[in-house]
Amino acid sequence: MVIADRERGGGRNRGRTLLWAGLPRLLSGVLLVLLAQAGCSQLPEPRRSLIVISMDTLRADRLGAYGYARSTSPNIDALAARGARFARAHSPAPWTLPSHASIFTGLTPQRHATHSWGDKIPSSVPTLAELLRGAGWRTFGHTTGGFVSGRYGFARGFEEYVDELSGFKMTLNAARRKIESLPEGEPYFLFLQTFTVHCPYPASSAHRATFRRQPESVVIEMASPCTVRPLESNFSEAQKKLFSDRYDAAIRSADEKLADFVEFLDRRGEFKDTYLVLLSDHGDEFGEHDGIFHGHTLYEELLHVPLIIVGPGVEPSVIEEQVGLVDLMQTALDLLQVDIEAGEGRSLTRYLGGDFPSSAPARAPVAYFASTEEGTKLRGVSLGDDKLILDLETGQAQLFDLGTDPGEKRDIAAERPSTRDRLRRVLDRHLERTDLGEGGGQALSPEQIEELEALGYVH
Ligand SMILES: [Zn+2]
């Protein structure tokens, strides 16, 4: 059953249900559930389950699996070795609300328009939980609130959605109880989110001592250090390094808690028919670009995030191609064999080997970035190693070559004007799209794909 068509390229099943974000708002919510239910009868048995764990604020380069030298993540590394690790996964935004909105909808911030403190995911946009519940999955969310609270639209589609501040261990224990309570063979979608590696970086005193490199004389005396503005703090370099050490300790603490949960899943044989996706919504800065924490820039320390998929049929591998959190929606639907297309992202199942078709990518490995927290007006685009960051207020464009300058220390916009202008054109076309908060919009048109192909960015 097809309600709207669009250009998606090869490698996709014909005749699957397409949910187009441009569908009239009043109809889409009802139709998507009906359509999902219609498709449900053709699903293979047994249907598989999905657990998504968002470790909020976890930057990729602080994990051993992503090359970090300190032993912050032996258990996450072991988990990554069992499945697909995406080496170059990007968040579309450097803070919680727009990034999670993209995870839940498969849309970039430009489209879901949930990128200011007062925004909410538009009711016209289907969420992953909504689609899966409509297709017969049990759906549960357990988060620590804040910008993933139900008031932002994240609870839509969940039978139960907890959004209370709690520790990671409590969250994982609640997840255990939920899994144990479900009848065997009943497929579920479980979304877990934790602020456990977010400032103030909770960790045991032993872990803090292990990871501390700053002398005892370096202290942070403020009562609420996490509330300072990222670009206006007066923290010394030594204090920023102390935060960084505490961050590492918090990751190690979280890693151990996660290990217990994975062991629980293993004991139950859960991975036989359950996928586990581990990701983060953004990173954290410790002075790399003169700021601290997140939400304020589009540099890699805030946008490069871990993305790991483990489960039946997923072969151990490292995928070097650029992918985005915006791809999770379609990937999840394809993993669970729910025959619906939704969002702007592309399915990443083609990279998983094993049981999955590995046709050539149908979409350009393009990542678009946006930042509006703290009043910044930044937008960005990344194509391969080239990355452009545009300040909409000043018109200033910075260009970086991530291949030779992964730390983004050297702006080469003036040296490579043709690359700069090419990325600017790609970004401008992206920004022309109408956001759904204003009642409509569409994914890439055939003309836009053609233009990208002409630029060499579409496979
Ligand atoms: Zn966050």
Distance 357 CA to ligand 1 centre (A): 33
Distance 370 CA to ligand 1 centre (A): 14
Distance 83 CA to ligand 1 centre (A): 24
**Residue 92: its pLDDT value, please?**
95
Q: Which domains does the chain have, with CATH numbers?
A: 17-351 (3.40.720.10), 366-455 (3.30.1120.10)
Distance 282 CA to ligand 1 centre (A): 6
Backbone torsion region of residue 212, taken as left when φ is above 0, otherwise alpha when ψ lies between -120 and 50, otherwise beta: beta
**Residue 231: its pLDDT value, please?**
83
Distance 56 CA to ligand 1 centre (A): 5
User: Hey, which residues does 317 pair with through a beta bridge?
Assistant: 84
Distance 96 CA to ligand 1 centre (A): 3
**Residue 3: its pLDDT value, please?**
24
Q: Which residues surround ligand 1, an ion (CB under 5 A)?
A: 56, 96, 281
Distance 350 CA to ligand 1 centre (A): 28
Distance 369 CA to ligand 1 centre (A): 15
Question: Taking the model in full, what pTM does it have?
Answer: 0.87
**Residue 167: its pLDDT value, please?**
94
CA distance 223 to 227: 10
CA distance 135 to 32: 10
Distance 95 CA to ligand 1 centre (A): 5
Distance 57 CA to ligand 1 centre (A): 5
Backbone torsion region of residue 345, taken as left when φ is above 0, otherwise alpha when ψ lies between -120 and 50, otherwise beta: beta
**Residue 232: its pLDDT value, please?**
81
Using DSSP bridges, classify how beta strands 84-90 and 138-143 pair: parallel, antiparallel or unpaired.
unpaired
C-alpha separations of 103 from 15, 40, 203, 412, 429 in Å: 25, 23, 27, 32, 22
* Mean pLDDT by groups of 10 residues along the chain of 459 residues: 27 46 40 46 72 98 98 98 97 95 95 85 95 97 93 96 93 98 95 96 96 92 85 90 97 98 97 97 96 94 97 94 95 95 92 75 70 80 94 94 97 97 93 59 46 41
Using DSSP bridges, classify how beta strands 317-324 and 138-143 pair: parallel, antiparallel or unpaired.
unpaired
State the Cα torsion 234-237-242-248 to the nearest 10°. Answer: 110
**Residue 223: its pLDDT value, please?**
78
